[in-house]
Structures are given as C-alpha cells and as structure tokens.
Amino acid sequence: MNKVTAPKSFRVKSFGCQMNVYDGERMAELLGAQGMEAAGEGEDADLVVLNTCHIREKAAEKVYSDIGRIVKDWRRDDGSSPMIAVAGCVAQAEGEEIMKRAKGVSMVVGPQAYHRLPEMIGKASAGERVTDTDMPAEAKFGALPARRKRAPSAFLTVQEGCDKFCTYCVVPYTRGAEISRPFADLVEEAKLLVDQGAREITLLGQNVNAWTGEDAKGRAIGLDGLIRELAAMPDLARIRYTTSHPNDMTDALIAAHGEVGKLMPYLHLPVQAGSDPILAAMNRSHSVDSYLRIIERVRDARPDIAISGDFIVGFPGESDADFEATLRLVEQVRYAAAFSFKYSPRPGTPAATMEDQIAAEVMDERLQRLQSAITRDQLAFNTASVGRTCDVLVERTGRRDGQWLGKTPWLQSAHFTGECKVGDLVTVQLVEAGPNSLSAVTV
C-alpha cells in the first residue's frame, strides 16, 4: 500500500503530437505554480504525469507498460511508488479501463480538464482515486498560470479539437470539437513568450488553419490575420504553424506565405493517401487533384517553400493500384519531409470495422517502399539547398566541441561551429547534405 502524502516534486512525460508537448509544458507550469519542484532526469519524483497519445495502438498500449515500469523502478527512498496521473488522449479515451487495469494510477485527467489537476492532487493525496475527463465549457486556458517557458523556439496552441471525423482517427473523440482561442489571449501569450526569449513561435492546432477570431477592432480574421498581427512584434523573428487540413487552406493564408517575411517557408499539409476512392473512404473530403492544386498555389506564392505531409498505408480496401497512386503523388509533390504510418484500427472509429482490412506483411512492404521514396526526396531537397545562405536559429549545443545545432527557415536541422549562443540567429552557408541534416559554415 502506498503511503499517501501531498507530492512535493513532479515529472511530466509527454508522448504524441506537439499539442501534447504544449499541454505538458502548461501542466508543469501549473504544478510549479502550486509550489511543486520539477524533478531532474534520474531524480525521485513524488508525482509522475504521463501525458499520453491514443493515435495508434502501439502508442496507446505503451501507457500500460510505462505505468508498470514506474511503479516498479521509480520507487523512492522510503520504498513507496510515486503518485501516477495519466493525462492526454489515452486518459480521455480509456479512463475507466486505465483505472481498472492499472491499480497504481491515482488520477486520470483528460486534455480539456488538466487545469483542475491541483484539486485532483488534493483528493489523491487523501487516498482517493480520481477521474476527470469532462470537456467543460469553462476555458481551460484562462484557469492556467501565465507562461513561464523560456526557449528560443516556443509552441503556442491557438486551436484545439477536430470536426473532420476522418474515419480512421480518434482525435475528434479525444480532443472534442474545434474551438479557437480568443485573439487577445493569443497576442498576450505570444508577447509573454517573446519577452522571455522566444525568437520563433509555432502556432499549434489539430486543424490550426481552421482558426478564426476577431481582431482588436472586432473584424473577423483567419489564421493569416493572426500571423500578420504576430509578425508586427519586433523581437519575434519567425512564425510557423502546424497541422493544417487541405480544406482549410484559404486564399488569404496562401497569400500570406508570399507576403509575410517572418512566416517561414514550410508547410505541413497531410494528404494521407494518393487515391481518390481511399480518400473518400477516409472521409478526407478532398481529392488528390484538389490537394495538388493547393500545393501548386502555395508554391506560386512562395517558390522555395518546403512541403511536408503525413501518409497512412494499408487503410482498409487499399489495393496495389491505390498504393501505387500514393507513390505517384509523392513523386509529383517532392516532399522536403514526410511521416508515414501503418494503418492502426482504433476502437470506436468507423474504419476499424470496415471490410477488407489489409494484412500486416502487405502494410510492412508498402511502408518500406513509401519510406524509401520519402527518404530519397528528403535527401534531394537537402542536397538542392547546398550552397544556400540562410539564418539558422540556434537551439542547442551539438555533440562536438564548439558545435551548435539549429533550424534553417525550411525546418532542416543544421550544425556548424562558431561563436554564438542559444537563441541567436546566425547567418550560415549550407555546405553538405544528408537525408536528416545539413552541415553549415558561418559567413
């Protein structure tokens, strides 16, 4: 039996997408504001928050083995196990099951309820097991302490949730309906991040380009308007946004890529598959052609833009011909980067019960072929950048003495040696390319 006392130290471990990383930072800030100490790597923590991802089966199952490991290996000096909270999308989707399967868990808290962690910890410290997976109407963000994060590159969640209901995807169920955070709150948070040293802000949302709001004068604006407003902040050098849905790629947002110098030349625009019947079965509500037209227009606005995407192989019913169409699409787009996944049937989603599920070996083979095509294009994109002069935003030191790591405008990792510090924008020339990074020299 665990000795129950109020935790004094904590650790938050985030899995999954960048929005989870952002939530994890805000949970850490919340616990810090309660007077709890963040435990360093290898140090005992009285409370461990597992901020989980439900997107694919592997990610979700990992939670249970992680809990087991924490109970066993993270015992503190007095022999007790740390208090465990499961947060994030698995908490939302499987709260009850977690409580049944994992007795070591004291708290289950959903992605829209984590501002209530302090009261939950109070109850858990009194020996109760507490679940809160409500999606309350009250604004979570308003109940959280102000940002304290100091980093050259910061995340800012502007939009949450999803109304698209792609037939394979859990996000509409784990994150709820699409909501946009108010303009004034976002401007305030961005200012705080910049005052604390952020040179780059990445605007986040499950469908970030669905963001809408009203500017200071009460005019209706979209994501492009928010970007233009943030670009007016003198100390902010770079703006990015992710993830976008093709159907929310407005003319105004495309135009912003050609007009706003601080908006970095990078667009993550997932397509998932290159065959129209599969896109229809996925309920993507766009076609291969309409996707390609968007890419074409974005490239017209910003010719050097780096395009990245997401793919799923082995969606139910995907034939060899459908898959070949995906390879053809990849060849046409020439991605600067892309992420590909084997289809994972998720409980409660329509695709999980569709006929014609694809055999594991077929998925493996398709994934391999797709990934080698993507690696080829990544290397080609990086190789084509050799000789370019650009700014790198320095994020950390590299492995070698005097070496620094940072990102180019096209989100490539670049390393170089020279005199500088984290947070500097250093002008370099790119001199050598690999599939995942480039080496550079200062100019």
The site for ligand SAH (CB under 6 A) is made up of 55-56, 168-169, 171, 206-207, 243, 245, 270, 272, 310, 312, 341, 343-344, 346
Q: Which residues bind ligand SF4 (CB under 6 A)?
A: 162, 164-166, 169, 171-172, 206-207, 245
Q: Which does 204 bind (CB under 5 to 8 A by kind): ligand SAH, ligand SF4, ligand F3S, none?
A: none
CA separation for the pair 26, 144 (Å, rounded)? 7
CA distances (Å), 425 to each of 60, 110, 229, 268, 295, in order? 38, 38, 22, 23, 29
Q: Smallest gap, in angstroms, from Cβ of residue 184 to ligand SAH?
A: 26
Q: 41 to each of 12, 36, 72, 346, 396, how far by Cα in Å?
A: 11, 16, 17, 33, 18
Cβ at position 162, least distance to ligand SAH in Å: 6
Least Å distance, CB 130 to ligand F3S, is: 21
Q: Are the beta carbons of 104 and 71 closer than 8 angstroms? A: yes
Q: How far is the CB of 307 from ligand SF4 (least distance, A)?
A: 17
Q: What is residue 348's DSSP assignment?
A: T
Q: Which residues make up the interface to ligand F3S (CB under 6 A)?
A: 16-17, 19-20, 53-55, 88-89, 170-171, 174-175, 206
Q: Which is nearer to ligand SAH, 71 or 313 (CB)?
A: 313
Residue 16: which of ligand SF4, ligand F3S, ligand SAH, none does it interact with, CB under 5 to 8 A by kind?
ligand F3S
Q: In terms of CB distance, is 7 or 246 closer to ligand SAH?
A: 246
- Candidates 321, 310, 312; CA nearest to 363 is 312
Binding at 366: pick from ligand F3S, ligand SAH, ligand SF4, none (beta carbon under 5-8 Å per type): none
Out of ligand F3S, ligand SAH, ligand SF4, none, what residue 161 binds, judged by CB under 5 to 8 A for its kind, is none
Burial class (CB in 10 A: 0-12, 13-18, 19+), 104: middle
Quick one: 172 or 258, whose CB is closer to ligand SF4? 172
Helix or strand or coil: residue 103? coil
Nearest residue to ligand F3S, scored by beta-carbon proximity: 16
First to last CA, the chain: 62
Question: What are the E-state strand segments in 22-170?
Answer: 37-38, 47-52, 83-87, 105-109, 130-132, 153-157, 159-160
Cβ burial, residue 15 (10 Å; 0-12/13-18/19+):
buried
From ligand SAH, ligand SF4, ligand F3S, none, interface partner of 165 (C-beta below 5 to 8 A by class): ligand SF4
CB of 351 to ligand SAH, least distance (A): 7
Write out the two tokens for 301: 């606005």
For ligand F3S, which is the closer residue by CB, 183 or 341?
A: 341
DSSP string, 165-198: --TT--HHHHH-S-EE--HHHHHHHHHHHHHTT-
Q: What does the alpha-carbon distance between residue 48 and residue 7 come to, in Å, rounded to a whole number? A: 10
Is 18 or 34 the residue whose CB approaches ligand F3S more closely? 18
Pick 205 or 406: Cβ nearer ligand SF4:
205
Is 408 buried (19+), middle (13-18) or exposed (0-12) by CB count in 10 A? buried
Partner touching 10 among ligand F3S, ligand SAH, ligand SF4, none, CB below 5 to 8 Å by kind: none
- Residue 53 CB, shortest distance to ligand SF4, in Å, is 12
Choose among ligand SF4, ligand SAH, ligand F3S, none what residue 172 binds, the Cβ cut-off being 5 to 8 Å by kind: ligand SF4
Considering CB distances under 5 to 8 angstroms, the limit depending on partner class, which of ligand SAH, ligand F3S, ligand SF4, none binds residue 53? ligand F3S
Is the peptide bond between 375 and the residue preceding it cis, with omega within 30 degrees of 0? no
Report d(CA 210, CA 204) in Å as an integer. Answer: 11
Please give the radius of gyration of the chain, using alpha carbons only, rounded to the nearest integer.
23
CA-closest candidate to residue 307, choices 341, 273, 334, 326: 334
User: What is the Cα–Cα distance from 9 to 66, expressed in whole angstroms?
Assistant: 19
* Complex with ligand SF4: residue 82 or 176, whichever CB lies closer: 176
Closer residue to ligand SAH, CB minimum distance, 105 or 330: 330
Q: Which does 341 bind (CB under 5 to 8 A by kind): ligand SF4, ligand F3S, ligand SAH, none?
A: ligand SAH
Compare residues 180 and 243 and give the one whose CB is closer to ligand SAH: 243
Block residue for tokens 């020279």: 418
Whole-angstrom distance, CA of residue 182 vs CA of residue 158:
8
89 binds, among ligand SAH, ligand SF4, ligand F3S, none (CB under 5 to 8 A by kind): ligand F3S
Residue number with CB closer to ligand SF4 (240 or 245) = 245
